[in-house]
Structure 1
């Protein structure tokens, strides 16, 4: 990784970079209610993703006057633009999957710094303090009026295996339940921290956990890698270190035997308690949790483990970072690591044939991938299907793969649909793979939707082969226009 990329190493330096580029960051001093109003505003300004229209991809936004939290600001939409992610990671947007793939191959392990070198511990609030209340200390918003409660949606959860001591960082659904309790949702079988929690619970021990909020965007992207690219024991903070060309700095927590990200805006220190469960919507009774990446509000879980909060530390004048669940921000966080994982697996099996991958916005970065495949010789015919199968193996939550040729822009949905309309026959070019485990948040993946579906989260994975048969390539040539420099006629053309 290039050392030139070390200029951004925390949230504040990332924001300073965005301020130099018109249209990437806006601020407002108008008062905003964190209860549904803040997300309601950003829905129009820049959410994008699978959010119900009208919405759009727009700038990140800072609210300087959050009602009830006058000593802090709230940032939303930092990663809700692939262009913005590329800007902050020092990479062309279309090459982000390759950047992360390279970073996985050359990880740089995190290091621990002293307390006086950790901005996240400038201010410390202990749970034993009179009047301690995480709901007042952390301006966690709700996305909609029916949410189960205020959620921390961009918390980097860091914990260690109680047996091996290996550590991992992941992002989870965290609902503030009381003055010192947070419920934590785990997607079944999908997160390493769930393995750590289960081990601790079998030993009847609490699991120490830190939640770092407002960090370097490289950490937020790297934290979303999953097996097989990053198996249990692989600390994804080392990927962020590789992206920046320098180790991520951690600091020992004040009240628990765990570490936190030293330059975070906020850190919550706590313990996952063994054998204790709560209903996610115990304070509202709405039956709903919060909007999730497929574009629907998830149902409240009736039995979630609890984090008992020991302390909250933060920077002076901290910046709270949040996200709308179905927004383009989730596409960036989940999708770019998915692209890197697919590129890695297919390249190992058939070098040079997969040119690029896009984890499409319509699938929230998880459900759909567009794969650009090159056929250079007759024996390459049929390998595109093999590449799609490898993609499904690399990322179990992937539901649909669209295969296109090298002359199709995978990041332009109109161009992809053009390939679907002119290079695809449904009864010839569709492959169905029924009865495969996918993701439980897709409401169509349930026995209620179809009696052919045996269990919630079981899906029919599908390959749409929109590539031209190798033997017919010369009959599917796109119209070739004269190459010119348009700035001769339109000087400000970009």
Structure 2
């Protein structure tokens, strides 16, 4: 059995073919016509759309991950519900990458200029790679990368990420950048490395795919590439730095403009290779794609965060697209005794402490569909009195991309609190219910 590639997944999709547009207009067209929350106010799955970028031979693919059910169907090993037992089984099924002789990318193109790299808005600092899966050592992660010229990229690495730690140890670090990587590898890349405790993300990707992920040796650098990618860049972090032109870089996953960064590490690109008739995959910044990828991986990461009795209360986890797949977490709780009514505070505090992007947790009973906003808000309306069932913790680090946590929010009332809502039925009142 072979792990599903992006090309395989494309064969299962109903692609929308659009007219040719300049590369700097494609993202705006997708946002208006196809994107869902939080790029627009439309709650809808996104179709997979292929654009022809004028002046480029390689088409652009957007929206591929914009439908959670579609992505789930590509990952046979993904648990239906995220629980202690289901993620333990996932770890047991992890598969070592399969080393192959040659990658699918055998055609070498002239330079980065051959790629139809997008600008999401006219305010962007420049054209950004947004779906390049960076692989170096055991690090596997997606970063925004600004195209500086035909052979150089500036990369933003969030502090605490595995790739940045490798770079700080070795200023000349070989990397591969895999565009159009297998879906299982892309979802696994968003898992928390700290939670995995040394388990390789590519091994987890193999478990999600139900088959090992194929890797091959690079042609110009001592680095592995994901063999079934559409486009592969090889290069190295060389110790030099560059600035993103201010005032803004590109829209973040929540829909707000990100700040331009100074002193970003530079990747010197030594090869750009493609497979036959490749597609260039991107995301537009705000939009459902990132929310789906981050949310699926985030639910697994939270489930992997504990194994004790508190964690065994968790019946399922789901990150809402409205929170960008990171800030708003819905948790179904299956209580077994009246004591469980009092344990949600400890569960919430531990989640906030281990997953710093989580801002709001809503606890529900198992009969509530966590993926249905109307059902979720029905539970909040009928099973919570917010005066007593809404709880806040202070003294957490602020998230720069969330305006409400800025110091000047509401006249200086921005803050670093984290909040949970208990929308569960008290155990004494639910004994006559049957939660399936």
Q: Same fold (TM over 0.5)?
A: yes
For residues 218 and 319 of structure 2, the distance between their equivalents in structure 1, rounded to whole angstroms, comes to 36
Aligned residue in 2 for 1:22:
none
For the 8 Å contact 2:242–2:263, the answer to whether it is kept is yes
1:148-159 matched pairs, under 5 angstroms: 148-159=125-136
Which of these residues, 25, 42, 48, is aligned with residue 36 of structure 2?
48
Alignment counterpart, residue 190 of structure 2, candidates 213, 224, 237: 224
Q: Which runs of 4+ in 1 moved over 4 A?
A: 91-94, 96-101, 450-453
Q: What is the Cα-based RMSD across aligned positions, in Å?
A: 2.4
CA contact (8 A) 2:77 2:208 kept: no
Q: Choose 1 or 2 for highest CA Rg.
A: 1
TM-score, with normalisation over the residues of structure 1? 0.82
The superposition leaves residues 77-110 of structure 1 with CA deviations (integer Å, 9 ceiling, x where unpaired) of 1111111111222378954788766433432121
Residue 124 (1) aligns with residue 108 (2):
yes
SS at structure 1 position matched to 2:303: helix
Q: Report the alpha carbon displacement of residue 303 of structure 1 after superposing the two structures with TM.
A: 1.9
Superposed displacement of residue 321, structure 1? 0.5
Change (3 A) 1:142 1:99: farther
Q: Which runs of 5+ in 2 are unaligned?
A: none
Q: 1:435 to 1:459 in 2, by over 3 A?
A: same
Partner of 1:237: 202
Unaligned runs of at least 5 residues, structure 1: 19-24, 126-131, 161-166, 481-494
Distance 1:45 1:96 in 2: 33
2-side partners of 1:446 and 1:336: how far apart?
Answer: 28
Rate the CA distance shift 1:445–1:28 in 2: closer, same or farther, 3 A: same
Give the match for residue 34 of structure 1: 23
Per the alignment, residue 488 of structure 1 pairs with: none
Would you say 1:410 and 2:370 are equivalent positions? yes
Give, in whole Å, the separation in 1 of the partners of 2:305 and 2:168: 30
User: Which residue matches 1:141?
Assistant: 118
Partner residue in 1 for 2:261: 301
Structure 1 residues 424, 54: closer, same or farther in 2, change over 3 A?
A: closer
CA distance, structure 2, for counterparts of residue 394 and residue 413 of structure 1: 25
C-alpha offsets along residues 461-489 of structure 1, whole Å, 9 cap, x if unaligned?
111111122223369x69x9xxxxxxxxx
CA contact (8 A) 2:16 2:47 kept: no
1:472 and 1:269 mapped to 2: Cα distance? 60
Asked whether the 8 Å contact 1:225–1:337 carries over to 2, the reply is yes
- 2:87–2:304 Cα contact (<8 Å) kept: no
Moved more, 221-230 or 167-176: 221-230
- Paired positions, count: 433
User: Which one of 412, 417, 427 corresponds to residue 460 of structure 1?
Assistant: 417
Residues 181 and 230 in structure 2, CA contact (< 8 A), matched pair in contact too = yes
1:197 maps to 2:185 = no
